[in-house]
Structures are given as structure tokens and as C-alpha cells.
Amino acid sequence: MEPRVLFAMRKARRAAVIMAVILSVTTISPPAIAASNEDPEVSASAPPASDMGTAPPQAVDEPSTATARNQDQCSEFKRKRAELLAQGHTQWACVEEKAPSTTKEQSPSAMQVPPAWCTSQWLVTRLLMCKKKEWLVTISDVQTGAVTGELLFRLTNYSYTSRDQLHWAHQTSVVFINAVGKGFGTNVSGTAGCSGPQPGQVPSCNVSAPASFPATNMNPRFPVEAEAFFDSTQVSPTGTGQIGFARTHWNYTLTNPQWPNSIVFSEVSPIVRCDNALPGSNVGRGCIVSDYIPQVDYSLTGQYPELARHIADAQASGLPGAYPAGPPLMGATGSADRADSVPGSRE
């Protein structure tokens, strides 16, 4: 394999990114608002923001708020069977995530098409994030524990941002795959909302439109689709130096007249960062996926071998920025980048 050197860009400004390349420094990340004419508008009629470059999407950790709410619903039913039986229940339903299958789904008709790399965990690029996961509802007889029905469906969540707007979108689709027994006749409804970047923190966004979709029968011929739009509440279109973080989510409720309980579960997005904090600019403002780390790849035997060796030597010396294991170089403007990345250097 051809030897290569990687460095990433983490929370740096546009000017700092250029300097990092010249100085052969590693690991810097641009802010949300390096405004570009290539970014389309995020609106109900516009296409999603195009991705930057050809770098592959990156996996991010599952938000703990969604994981805690969704896990072990079916295990909890097994523990509570005696209690439910004493309460007079005869049927009970639970939901759990399943490994992806090769089952084909219908393409949503009115929604933006999710990227081909969308898979069963959250993957992100600079402007996009997507997750496509199958879920299984199991309905059981409370007295015997026997399975009386199942429902398999695919849930897709796709969110897109723009580096020159304080406005972004989060769409979802629920696609029926198969059902048996008491799994037929299930309705799904959903509500969109904002969450803080960490549990208990105040979100820096609100839902602009729309916020929910009504209870709809899960039909194998028609996917259930919805899209919500969000505005930053921390960053002003006319201010400067403001930064806000938020997650968006869809909460889902499954109901069926054949079982007494409602199933409630959530999908929570990775963190969106909005800002108007580009140094030296009072016009740049927008939103990006906070966890994505853009990377630059230089070959040691390619067009710029001296540059690649210089970067490799800098990483090996312990300077900030080695990707993916090294500490990031936090970008600034002026001479600060050079002073941090090349100690003892002269202007």
C-alpha cells in the first residue's frame, strides 16, 4: 500500500486552514461558517446541502439520550410479565433495534434522497448526517409469553445543514417491511424537537416547521415521511462571535388496537454547531455537523513527497494535530498558528 500521511482540520477558521497547509501542520477543524457559494439553501423546496470533497463519512457515538430510552424494552417486558398479568393485560408490545437485512425499501417520493453511504449507525460528513436502522416490534401473550405478532420496519433519519445559513433540516421516513399476527394494523406518529448537546443542557435551537406528523397506518405500499426545519436560537444573523450547539430528534409512538400499550422511542441526531464566529468577518454565519473532522491526505510517494515527509516528521515529533490519534491544533488567525505548530519559528 502506498505510504500516506493524514491530517485533519478541527475547529479552525478559514484563514487558519490555509496557513496549516502551508506550514504542514496537522489536525485543525474549520468552524461552521466558512461561507461558500457552493452551499445550497436549506428550505422545503431546495435540495440538501452538497457534501464537501470525496472523504468518506465518519461514524459518531450514539447519543446517550436515545440509547437509554430505546434499550431493553423487550427485556423489561419479560421481567414485568407477572405484574402486567395482575393488572389484567393479555397482550403487550415492545420494540428493539435489529441488524440490517437485504430487504429492499421503496424510495420516499417527496423527500430528499438519503446518501448511498447511510447505514445502521450515525454517519456524518461536514454538512450531512444519516442513519438507517431496522426495528422489530414483538407482541406477546402476557400469560404464556408466546409471541402473537411481529412488525418489522425500517427507520431512516437524514439531516442536512448549510455553512451559510442558521437553518437546517431533519427528515425521517418509516418504511413497513413485514408483519405477522397482531403486528398488522399498527399506526405510527412522530414529533420533532430540539435537545441540548448533552443531557440536561438547554438546546440552542427551536423547530420552525413542521413539528409533527399524525398517527398513520403503516402500509407496505406507502412509506410514512416527515421533515422538520430548525433555527438556531443562540446565534444572531447580525451578531458576531456567537456559538450554539444542539441536537435534533424525532420521537415516535406506535399504537395498535390489538395491544393496550403505546410504544414510544426516539432517534436523536449528532450535534449541530452554528456560529457567526469567523475572525475578521462580520458576514459569515452558518451550521455544520460538529463531530466531523475534515482530513487531508498526502502521499509520501506522490506529487508532494517533501510536504508529506514534513507533515510526518511534525506528527512524529509530538506537535499537535496527528490524525487520528493526536491532539488537535485549535485554529486561530495571524501568527498564532505558526507559533503553536512550529515552536521557536521566526515570522
Question: How many other CB atoms sit within 10 Å of the CB of residue 263?
Answer: 20
293 CB-near residues (< 8 Å, 6+ apart): 8, 9, 10, 27, 29, 58, 323, 324, 328
CA 300/CA 186 separation, integer angstroms? 57
Comparing CA positions, the residue from 171, 138, 139 lying closest to residue 155 is 171
pLDDT at 343 over 80: no
CA 76/CA 74 separation, integer angstroms? 5
pLDDT at 85 over 80: yes
pLDDT at 14 over 50: no
The backbone region for 241, taken as left when phi is positive above 0, alpha when psi lies in -120 to 50, beta otherwise, is left
Average pLDDT of the segment spanning 204-225? 89
Mean pLDDT score of the chain: 77
Q: Look at 46 and 318; give whichever has higher pLDDT.
A: 318
Predicted confidence at residue 209, as pLDDT, reads 78
Give the SS3 label for residue 79: helix
User: Could you give the percent of the chain with pLDDT greater than 70?
Assistant: 71
pLDDT at 26 over 90: no
Predicted confidence at residue 308, as pLDDT, reads 85
Grid coordinates given for 142: 402476557
164 CB-near residues (< 8 Å, 6+ apart): 33, 35, 36, 39, 284, 285, 286
Confidence of residue 287 (pLDDT cuts 50, 70, 90): very high
If 0-12 CB within 10 Å is exposed, 13-18 middle and 19+ buried, where does residue 65 land?
middle
Lowest-confidence segment of 21-35, 222-236, 277-291 by average pLDDT: 21-35
Average pLDDT of the segment spanning 64-71? 55
Angle formed at CA 34 by CA 28 and CA 35, multiple of 5 degrees: 165
Predicted confidence at residue 281, as pLDDT, reads 64
Q: Look at 108 and 327; give whichever has higher pLDDT.
A: 327
pLDDT at 100 over 80: no
pLDDT at 126 over 80: yes
Q: What is the pLDDT of residues 141-196, one digit of tens each?
A: 999 999 999 999 999 999 999 988 899 999 999 999 999 999 999 999 999 999 88
Predicted confidence at residue 133, as pLDDT, reads 93
Give the SS3 label for residue 231: strand
Confidence of residue 103 (pLDDT cuts 50, 70, 90): very low
CA 89/CA 260 separation, integer angstroms? 8
Lowest-confidence segment of 98-102, 242-246, 255-259 by average pLDDT: 98-102
pLDDT at 110 over 80: no
CA 51/CA 31 separation, integer angstroms? 16
Predicted confidence at residue 70, as pLDDT, reads 60
Average pLDDT of the segment spanning 261-273? 94
pTM as predicted: 0.74
Q: Are 116 and 55 in contact (CB under 8 A)?
A: no
Predicted confidence at residue 101, as pLDDT, reads 58
pLDDT at 345 over 60: no
Q: Are 91 and 147 in contact (CB under 8 A)?
A: no
